[in-house]
C-alpha cells in the first residue's frame, strides 16, 4: 500500500549508515514494527495510515549528534509534505515518529503514538530475542551453548524490566506472551544442557 514510501525508507536506511549488529538489518526491523503495529491497531484502533507511515519512518533518520527520532521525524515531515500527502494527518505521523522512543514521558499522546511505541518495543522480543542472542554469542570469542544460555537469561531479565513501558493493553498482552515463550525456551534449554 505504501510502496513508494517503503522504497524511500529502504534507500534512506541504507544511505545513513546507522549500525548495530552485523546481522541486524534496520529495514527488516522497520517492516517487522510495521507488522506489529497493524496487529495492535486492529485491537486498539487509531488511524491505520498514520500508524503505518509513522512505523516506516520511525528509524529512517540517523545523525551521530542528534536523537534519531528527531532526525526521522524531520525526514517524515519533509517527505510527506513534498510528495503531496494532503489526505494524511502529517502532524500525527510526525508526532508518532518523534515520540516512538520516549516511552517514559508522562505527556498524554494520541493512540497512534502508543501503537507505534509498543510495536517498536515488541519487535525483537520472543523468538527473535533468542535468535539475536544466539547469533551475537556465535560472533563473540569462544562461543558455546552455555554462553548463549547465559546471554538469553541476562536479556530476559532486562526485557522483563521493560514490560512497564508498554502503553496499550494488547501490547502488554503480546509482550507478556513473548516473555513467557522465552522462559519456556530457557526451561527446555536448561533441561537439555543438564543445568537443572
Output the tens digit of pLDDT for each of the chain's 196 residues.
689 999 999 999 888 877 776 777 889 999 999 999 999 999 999 999 999 999 999 999 888 888 889 999 999 999 999 999 988 899 999 999 999 888 888 889 999 999 999 999 999 899 999 999 999 999 999 999 999 999 999 999 999 999 999 999 999 999 999 999 999 999 999 999 999 8
Number of domains in the chain: 2
Same domain, 136 and 95: no
> Residue 72, exposed/middle/buried by CB under 10 A (0-12, 13-18, 19+)?
buried
Domain residue limits at 88: 3-104
Residue 102 has a pLDDT of 83
134 in any annotated domain: yes
> Which cell is 25 given?
538489518
Same domain, 92 and 140: no
Residue 1 has a pLDDT of 65
110 in any annotated domain: no
Nearest to 37 by CA among 101, 109, 103, 120: 120
3-state secondary structure of 106: coil
Prediction pTM value: 0.93
Same domain, 95 and 11: yes
114 in any annotated domain: no
H-only helix segments in the chain: 3-16, 26-44, 48-57, 68-82, 90-99, 111-122, 127-139, 145-161, 169-193
Residue 101 has a pLDDT of 84
Same domain, 9 and 86: yes
Nearest to 109 by CA among 59, 54, 186, 162: 54
Amino acid at each position: 500500500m505504501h510502496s513508494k514510501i517503503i522504497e524511500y525508507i529502504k534507500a534512506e536506511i541504507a544511505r545513513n549508515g546507522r549500525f548495530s549488529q552485523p546481522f541486524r538489518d534496520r529495514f527488516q526491523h522497520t517492516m517487522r514494527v510495521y507488522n506489529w503495529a497493524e496487529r495492535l491497531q486492529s485491537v486498539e484502533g487509531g488511524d491505520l495510515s498514520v500508524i503505518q507511515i509513522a512505523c516506516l519512518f520511525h528509524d529512517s533518520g540517523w545523525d551521530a549528534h542528534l536523537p534519531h527520532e528527531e532526525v526521522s521525524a524531520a525526514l517524515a515531515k519533509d517527505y510527506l509534505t513534498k510528495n503531496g500527502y494532503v489526505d494524511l494527518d502529517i502532524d500525527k505521523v510526525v508526532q508518532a515518529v518523534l515520540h516512538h522512543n520516549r516511552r517514559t514521558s508522562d505527556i498524554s499522546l494520541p493512540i497512534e503514538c502508543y501503537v507505534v511505541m509498543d510495536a517498536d518495543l515488541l519487535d525483537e522480543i520472543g523468538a527473535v530475542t533468542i535468535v539475536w542472542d544466539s547469533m551475537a554469542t556465535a560472533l563473540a570469542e569462544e562461543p558455546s551453548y552455555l554462553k548463549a544460555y547465559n546471554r538469553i537469561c541476562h536479556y530476559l531479565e532486562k526485557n522483563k524490566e521493560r514490560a512497564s513501558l508498554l502503553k496499550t493493553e494488547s501490547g502488554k498482552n503480546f509482550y507478556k506472551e513473548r516473555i513467557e515463550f522465552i522462559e519456556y525456551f530457557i526451561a527446555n534449554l536448561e533441561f537439555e544442557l543438564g543445568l537443572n
